[in-house]
Amino acid sequence: MHDIKWIRGNADAFDGALARRGVEPQSVDILKLDANLREAATRMQDLQSERNRLSKEIGQLKAKGDDAAAQSKMDEVSALKDDLTAAESQHFDLGQALHNALSGLPNLPSADAPDGADEGSNTERVRMGEPSKFDFEAKDHVAIGEGLGMMDFEAAARMSGARFVILRRALAQLERALAAYMLDILTTGHGYTELSVPHLVRGDAMFGTGQLPKFTEDLFATTDEFWLIPTAEVPLTNTVREQILDADALPLRMTAHTPCYRSEAGSAGQDTRGMIRQHQFTKVEMVSVVHPDDADAEHDRMTGAACDVLDCLELPYRVMDLCTGDMGFSAKRTYDLEVWLAGQHRYREISSCSNCGDFQTRRMNARFRPGGDEKGTRFPHTLNGSGLAVGRTLVAVLENYQQADGSVTIPKVLRPYMHGALVITADG
């Protein structure tokens, strides 16, 4: 959500920042709505003041016994009623129109975010590890999983349709092991507090983090006005909605492992094979709520935590700085972690770590008291990132740890979570 007071004094900067995201100038229309809203508010307040003045006079005239004069004033009040009702309706409609105009616009990009229209303008920040090489032809995760007899897309499709999978035996255990390991490393090594959160939320929670109204088609909704979460970012971030925090409560660092549900409405024809893009998947999410002065440092810290998981799993990856045309709706700056997939011979996104500034806290009306000599309240900044997408991490383990005989070596850090097993085989 954008600050209309800031837009009033920085219209050109506002339009310039939107242009970096490929959005046409909006300030003229927004400021016109704002001016009309303020005029309507003034008219409504004037009519309310006039009504109150007349009501006071009516009481005074009645006290004097001048019923005729009192009735005349009462007639004036009645005449004001329709005007006041119309003014209140106009004020509400204009306020809603301004709210809709502002809430439909993406966050303004950070000055440091690289400019560009699409992923071709993303820039590489760092690369860790060398892409896996084998003395045999590498398979993708589907061939590996089906070869092990532990990855079943057909059975899933019979009950749920496309973009679902059933994992069996050691692969189901591996998925659980990955999530448990991620939570352990984030909570014990990086100071995140684990939460168990709702998987169904109301629309105002989705609005708060920016999924609604823009991405309605990419979400699943129930018939009784609940929404299935597309990421634990939604419930984790909304823990502070409509709250006023003390400054010493910041930073808040939270993590959760949840299923995620996405309709993938805009991905027709993309990744239709395999586990890369599914309607249901699991993810370990990180969310931070911080003092505005600490947001940039927190962004690096969060990205480092996600990198740590990949480093410990000994998976090759790179960190990309997303350009303005490739960032998510709520983000002002985003770093993507892309893991190497040996079976696909390419890097694929496994985590996005985003700094959202005060974009979400304005939508949620979440504030904090700065304390000291500073009066009033301010909006904290929020950040979110995957630590990691569990299904995609499983894909990366299968493709990078595969062996010539179709078995898969288990990464060292996961072996305690796999009852000490060293390898996954078809008969295991």
Q: Which residues are catalytic?
A: 262, 277, 349, 352, 392
Q: Which two tokens stand for residue 47?
A: 């009519």
> 332: buried, middle or exposed (CB in 10 Å: 19+, 13-18, 0-12)?
buried
Q: Which two tokens stand for residue 23?
A: 């959005």
Q: Where are the beta strands (DSSP E) in 31-169?
A: 123-128, 151-152, 166-167
The CA-to-CA distance between both ends of the chain, in Å, stands at 52
- Residue recorded with tokens 């100071």: 191
> 253: buried, middle or exposed (CB in 10 Å: 19+, 13-18, 0-12)?
buried
Which of 356, 370, 347, 287 shows the shortest CA–CA distance to 328?
356
Q: How far apart are CA 112 and CA 127, in angstroms?
A: 20
- Residue recorded with tokens 């998925």: 175
Find out whether 397 and 315 touch, Cβ atoms under 8 Å.
Answer: yes
CA dihedral 209, 357, 308, 260 (to 10 degrees): 10
Find out whether 315 and 339 touch, Cβ atoms under 8 Å.
Answer: yes
Is residue 241 helix, strand or coil?
coil
